[in-house]
Amino acid sequence: MNLDHYIEELKTLVNVDCGTQTLEGVARVADIIESLWQREGWHTEQVNLGDNVGPGVFVSNKPQAEQFDVLLVGHLDTVFPAGTVACRPMRQDATRLYGPGVSDMKSGLLNILWAMRGLDAKDKERLAIAVAMNPDEETGSVWSHEWIGELAKRSRCVLVCEAARADGSLVKSRKGMAGYHLTFSGVAAHAGNEPEKGRSAITALARSILAINALADLDKGTTLNVGVIHGGSAANVVAESAIAELDVRFWENDEYDRVHHALNALCEKGFFEGVTTSLTRVNHKPAMAASEATQALMKQVEAAGREEGIPITWQAVGGGSDANHTAALGIPTLDGLGPVGAGFHSPTEWLDIASIEPRIRLLRRVISMR
């Protein structure tokens, strides 16, 4: 393959500020990737997912197919704010590429394109292949997971092309996650003159954190993290309001049910007399576990790896992706079918140049074995 050509195309995707909230940037990336697919003669369409996010992009060789042999999934957005590209555009050294979203996951999007560019004409004729690229994965796919879910239900399997791990491993399971906001409403009062008339939302918040932490079960990998707190207005005022933002992670969906019910019960009861607590779930991704059907798919990927001379290893990882949603629908789903990278969501994010070509071959082989 022409690696320089690949890197040129990658640069056009990386050097656009396209954090989930930068809607025009996400739309720009959608336009770029759509036109690359159009040049290959594939059917493409942009999908309106509402005014809060950029467009999705759907690509297929057989858009009218009742069932797709494979659904390939990637996301157009990054976590980086506007201005990031000006500070650190894509750059390269002898072995790695760097830049915002270079491995999470602009190169994954491009690997799908390159894998299909080299697909045997007979396979392209025989198989029904769909690609879904969503604009809001980094904020939990709130506006796109139903769209991807509907496509997944029409598909025999789902391959999410997030980057492979730094050691080359693919991803067979992912923790589930849920985000909550806790809002505490107390009674304001002068802290010197009449503190007894106040009910401190901050006191309630402080107590809640200890109760929330106690819901963790480290043996099972269930963790709760209050990562953000806000509250109060001045040191001499009993705080009227406070907010806590909570992140919950779990390997088992039963564990999540336990935590969800316990949180609701705790908040209903309240943490401090006179302060009410309201609990809002802001996002939720079920845990992705390797079902029997998924294990069969793993065997196929391992066979494809043997044919391509690429050793296949697997990891279970704590971060969520769109794979969580499609796996929860019962569709065999694997992840990490992009090139190798690490440092996601940070300025050190990198992509291993030597992994680009073999991982394109691997993805193409997995698809042609369907």
Residue 90's nearest CA partner among 152, 8, 168, 30 is 8
Number of residues engaging Zn ion in binding (CB under 5 A):
3
At its nearest, how many Å lie between Zn ion and the CB of residue 251?
A: 20
Q: Tell me the closest approach of the beta carbon of residue 178 to Zn ion, in angstroms.
A: 18
The residue (of 105 and 304) whose beta carbon lies closer to Zn ion is 105
Minimal CA–CA distance to 363: which of 310, 313, 322? 310
Distance (Å, whole) CA 135 – CA 30: 8
**Shortest Cβ 74–Zn ion spacing (Å):** 8
Q: What's the min distance (Å) between Cβ of 345 and Zn ion? A: 9
- The arrangement of strands across the sheet holding 223-231 comes to 223-231, 241-250, 176-185, 276-285
What is the spatial distance between Cα 63 and Cα 53, in angstroms, rounded to a whole number?
24
Residue 104 or 240 having the CB closest to Zn ion? 104
Dist. CA 82–CA 25, nearest whole Å:
9
**Residue 228 CB, nearest approach to Zn ion (Å):** 22
Q: Give the dihedral sign, CA 205/208/210/216.
A: negative
Q: Measuring CA to CA, which residue among 102, 163, 105, 99 is closest to residue 133?
A: 105
**Would you say 70 or 171 has its CB closer to Zn ion?**
171
- CA angle 42/85/114 to nearest 5° reads 25
Q: How far is the CB of 236 from Zn ion (least distance, A)?
A: 46
Q: Which residue is nearest to Zn ion (CB)?
A: 104
Instruction: Quote the tokens at residue 243.
Output: 């907010």
Based on CB atoms, which residue is closest to Zn ion, 49 or 205?
49
Minimum separation from the CB atom of position 104 to Zn ion (A): 4
Question: x/- binding map, residues 157-176, to Zn ion, per CB under 5 A?
Answer: -----x--------------
Q: In terms of C-beta distances under 8 Å and separation of at least 24 residues, what long-range contacts does 187-191 make, across chains too?
A: 187/238, 187/240, 187/274, 187/275, 188/233, 188/237, 188/238, 188/239, 188/240, 189/237, 189/238, 190/236, 190/237, 190/238, 191/235, 191/236, 191/237, 191/238
Is residue 285 a contact partner of residue 325, using CB atoms and an 8 Å limit? yes
Binding mask 89-128 for Zn ion (x = CB under 5 A): ---------------xx-----------------------
Our CB check for Zn ion shows the closer of 111 and 277 to be 111
| Residue 78 or 155 having the CB closest to Zn ion | 78
Paired strand residues for 171: 315, 335
Shortest distance in whole angstroms from residue 75 CB to Zn ion: 6
**Among the candidate windows 156-164, 165-173, 174-182, 281-289, which touches Zn ion by CB under 5 A?**
156-164
Q: Which is nearer to Zn ion, 29 or 105 (CB)?
A: 105
**Scanning residues 292 to 331, which ones bind Zn ion (CB under 5 A)?**
none
Nearer of residues 161 and 189 to Zn ion, judged by Cβ? 161
Question: Nearest distance from residue 338's CB to Zn ion, in Å?
Answer: 9
Query: Of the two residues 20 and 61, which places its CB atom closer to Zn ion in the complex?
Result: 20
Which long-range contacts link 233-237 to residues 24+ away (Cβ below 8 Å)? Answer: 233/188, 235/191, 236/190, 236/191, 236/192, 237/188, 237/189, 237/190, 237/191, 237/198
CA dihedral of 62, 68, 69, 70, whole degrees rounded to 10:
100
Return the number of the residue (34 or 162) whose C-beta is nearest Zn ion: 162
Site map (CB under 5 A) of Zn ion, residues 243-282, x = contact? ----------------------------------------
Nearest approach, Cβ of 140 to Zn ion (angstroms)?
12
Site string for Zn ion, 54-93 (x = CB under 5 A): ----------------------------------------
List interacting residues with Zn ion (CB under 5 A). Answer: 104-105, 162
